Chain A
Amino acid sequence: MLTRTQKVIIYLTLSIAAFLMVFPFLWSIISSFKFAHEIMAIPPTFWPENFTLTNYYQVFNSQGSQFGNWYKNSLICSSLVTASVCFFSALAGYSLAKFEYPHKEKIFYTILSTMMVPMQMLIIPWYIMFTHLKLNDTLIGIMLPGLISAFGIFLLRQAFERIPNSLVEAARLDGASEFTIFRRIMFPLIKPSVAALGIITFVGNWDAFLWPMIITDSSHMKTLPVGLQAFAGQFGVEFHLIMAAANLVVIPSIIIFIVFQKHIIGSIASSGVKG
């Protein structure tokens, strides 16, 4: 057991550490409510002298900022990619876990081996391919490289392997078609694993930067992180605006995290990776 002093020291250390961890966000929120002249004031102020929402108004209305579109694009891309990853990973994972056919092992290891190839190596060929297919600067272009995940197949194959074969056999005897068995019986049984996969896929895609930046050109096609980068690049050192824009990216994630924190932390802990 801990003594009283030990407890006080532990709480104090952890509280300071936790405060330092979230402080950058607090500071960016505080800064975003200051007027441009106050943010550059020497000596600096901590709390805004005149509280203002001008910066947010400017971020939404300045040229080159399309936050509405960027939210929409990020939401569409992350959701569709997540749905696709969950569906196809489950389908392939089910096949690899519960069916017998020639070359099954080879197929599995071929899929698994793609996990070792860094995404940066594929970006140049993708870019050339997508230019030929006229997919540059489209949402499909942003999404296509992420639609199926080898890691997802690996994860869900494991989940299916834990389900007894007798369940599948019983369903077959009832005369259900194979796809119905998958959709109605098998898929619901691994829902916790699918949810975990869905969460890490969504979080990873919401944060994706390199590929969406390369494949998009026009402002209205960008995703949130890419849009933010373009916006900040344009405004250089006007940190009152950049902080407001950064908060517009950060705050929705934090709200969603507050609501689903148990699920999100659990998913990332159980699968051991992020993105």
Chain B
Amino acid sequence: MFKFLEDEKKQKMFWGYLFVFPAFLYFLCMNIWPMLYAFFLSFNDWNLLKVEKKFVFLQNYFEVFQDKVFLTSLYNTFAYAIIIVPLGLMIAIFLSVLVNSGIKHVGIFRFMFFIPVITSSIAAGYIWMWLYEPTFGLFNDILSIINIQLPFLKSTYSAKLSIAAVVIWKNLGFQIVILLTGLGAIPNSVYEAAEMDGVTGWRRFRYITLPLLRPTIIFLSVTGFMKVLQMFGEIYVMAPTGGPLDSTTSVVFHIQKTAFESYRLGYSSAMTFILFLIILGITIFQIKYLSGEKN
């Protein structure tokens, strides 16, 4: 075919490049170029409804940090993370230790815990919205037996917690499955040795199981944190305005509103870049922290 293909080494190089080329080109066009473009946009004042872009350098960034809704959304997002990540993990660890305690029927429990993971978060959001409904919803029906009525999604105090509960419920099965893999990797001999030393029950969990699960727990906290930082769908469904009084607005939610409802593309690009920096920071922290574990 081609003359240079007669050389075997060059021939292999040719095929190697050919196989990786579609993917590389794709990432240049769909990831790297758009990322640079977003960075460029963040220095411009550009409303999609106007034609002209205006270079404003750092002005968008100054504005972001004076934007009350953005600051609230940043606060909310971290509040979500602080509620969801530890609480979800504690419940998941508790349940997976029980599942792993040597009982039969592990499969059926794992199966039931996992169902929310594979269902659409949008559909799940509506189902929970109905449970939370203040007048006709099931939760308040049940609570009325003891004469309590909660506002759930309707009050600034409880809205965030109500949404956080749904996210915990949705991801619990995923965490349990990963934890069960981690628990399964702990050799029986470790437990037997502990038993001979008289370490059982809570102390066995505290001083043996938990330390050995540490890498799994760190992995789940970091991935869980990332997921919460990018929370959007659940809020969009259960609190379409981000209310009451912006108490449920997350960063991505605010970005979506600014970009595709107010069409302020330059300004919202600046916000996405800040989100990127936060995620990058956590990733670097994770790499350092995890590689520190090995030494």
Contact = CB atoms under 8 A, between A and B. Distances in A.
Contact of B128 (A24, A31, A209): A24
Contacts of A274: 117, 174
B230 A2 contact: no
Interface stretch (B54-62, B66-74, B82-90, B108-116): B108-116
Given A39-B136, A225-B233, 19 more contacts: A92-B22, A95-B16, A99-B12, A99-B16, A101-B12, A101-B13, A111-B24, A118-B229, A122-B31, A124-B259, A127-B260, A128-B265, A225-B122, A232-B237, A250-B123, A253-B120, A264-B114, A265-B177, A269-B181
A49 B286 CA distance: 55
Main secondary structure of the interface of A (DSSP, over half): helix
A264 B38 contact: no
Interface stretch (A56-64, A134-142, A146-154, A190-198): A146-154
A218 interface: no
Contact of B123 (A111, A182, A225): A225
A254 B233 contact: no
9 contacts: A27-B131, A92-B20, A99-B19, A121-B38, A124-B41, A144-B30, A225-B122, A269-B181, A274-B174
Contact of B233 (A148, A210, A261): A210
A249 B122 contact: yes
B23 interface: yes
A247 B123 CA distance: 8
Contact of A242 (B19, B101, B130, B232): B130
B23 A92 contact: yes
A68 interface: no
Interface in A220-275: 224-226, 228-229, 232-233, 237, 239, 242-243, 245-247, 249-250, 253-254, 256-257, 261, 264-265, 268-269, 272-274
B34 interface: yes
Interface in A53-101: 88-89, 91-92, 94-96, 99-101
Contacts of A14: 95, 98-99, 103, 109
Contacts of B110: 265
B256 A210 contact: yes
B240 interface: yes
A10 interface: yes
Nearest to A40: B136
Say which size band chain A's interface belongs to: 35 or more
Given A111-B23, A257-B118, A274-B117, A24 B131 contact: yes
7 closest cross-chain pairs (CB), A and B = A99-B16, A95-B19, A125-B34, A92-B23, A18-B112, A121-B272, A95-B20
B91 to A, nearest CB: 8
A269 B219 CA distance: 13
Nearest to A209: B233
Contacts of B174: 268, 274
B246 interface: no
Contact of B12 (A21, A100, A243, A265): A100
B117 to A, nearest CB: 7
Interface string A114-130: 10111111111111110
B232 A210 contact: yes
Contacts of B32: 110, 114
A88 B260 contact: no
Contact of B272 (A28, A124, A245, A268): A124
B35 A88 contact: no
B173 interface: yes
Given A100-B12, A111-B24, A206 B120 contact: yes
Interface string A187-213: 000000000000000010011011000
A125 B29 CA distance: 11
B126 A243 contact: yes
